[in-house]
Amino acid sequence: MQQIAKIFSSSVGRKIMMALTGMLLAGFVTIHLLGNLSIFAGSAALNAYAAQLAGLGPLVWVFRLGLLALFVLHIYLGIQLTMENRAAKPEGYAVNKTLRTSFAAKTMIVTGVVLLAFVIYHLFHFTFQTINPEFAAKANMSAKGLPDVFSMVIHGFQSIGATGLYVIGMVALLLHLTHGIASSFQSLGLNNGKTQEGVEKIGKGVAALFFLGYVAIPVLIFVGLVH
């Protein structure tokens, strides 16, 4: 416990924890995207994927609560580090010494707040299924007798409002990861002056792939190419 307290009591320790929690959350974003992309394989594939997750029972909620703890800790550390850096200028956000200041870096708190709001909306939309309950998967069954997650998602993104909110959320994710990936490598000591440019390019590329993968789902459904 004393070692954990020491980590959180130092600025360097908080930056390392910020980087680690960010990487773990990015890992979830990756797994979640791969699962969501099964929608392009048709209704049977997505409904089967959703049924497999539901079949894990309480483990799903253990995993969700663990993610929630990571998310809350990441937000707390982000706010704390930002306040510290503003009070101790000219040192900037987390790794401003070596990472060039960018719009993504300057708006990390803003995009973080937008992502928090988006996650809350997403949970009520497709997890708790309280938005448009008439299309809720748990209230409708597919031809194979599984909760019809596919139809729920299709109906959910036929609204320009819902589609627009998801696009805004993914723009926030794009900006957050564009800076966050390179920043995390720097905080963990895995990036230096020689590798900085390469790591930044990789971070931007990975962030762009996440953005395109996630945005493709609501946009292609909204324009009628997935139905």
Render pLDDT for 9-66 as a digit per residue (tens, 0 to 9): 788 888 999 999 999 999 999 999 999 999 999 999 999 999 999 999 899 999 999 9
Which residue, among 114, 159, 169, 150, has the nearest Cα to 132 in the 3D structure? 159
Length of the chain, please? 227
Looking at residue 92, what is its pLDDT? Answer: 45
Looking at residue 189, what is its pLDDT? Answer: 82
Q: What is the CB neighbour count within 10 angstroms for residue 49?
A: 19
Looking at residue 199, what is its pLDDT? Answer: 87
pLDDT, tens only, 41-51? 999 999 999 99
Domain assignment present for residue 174? The answer is yes
Domain assignment present for residue 35? The answer is yes
Chunk the chain into consecutive blocks of 10 residues (it has 227) and report each block's average pLDDT, rounded to whole numbers: 64 90 95 96 95 91 92 91 76 47 87 94 94 91 90 96 97 95 87 80 94 98 95
Bond preceding residue 90 cis, omega within 30 of 0: yes
> What's the pTM value of the predicted model, to 2 decimals?
0.88
Looking at residue 94, what is its pLDDT? Answer: 46
Domain assignment present for residue 83? The answer is yes
Domain assignment present for residue 63? The answer is yes
Domain assignment present for residue 227? The answer is no
User: Count of domains in the chain?
Assistant: 1
Domain assignment present for residue 185? The answer is yes
* Residue 147, beta-bridge partner list: 141
**CATH code of the domain covering residue 130:** 1.20.1300.10
Report the amino acid identity of residue 11.
S
d(CA 26, CA 177): 8
User: What is the domain range of residue 80?
Assistant: 2-222
Looking at residue 207, what is its pLDDT? Answer: 96
Looking at residue 100, what is its pLDDT? Answer: 55
Report the amino acid identity of residue 151.
S
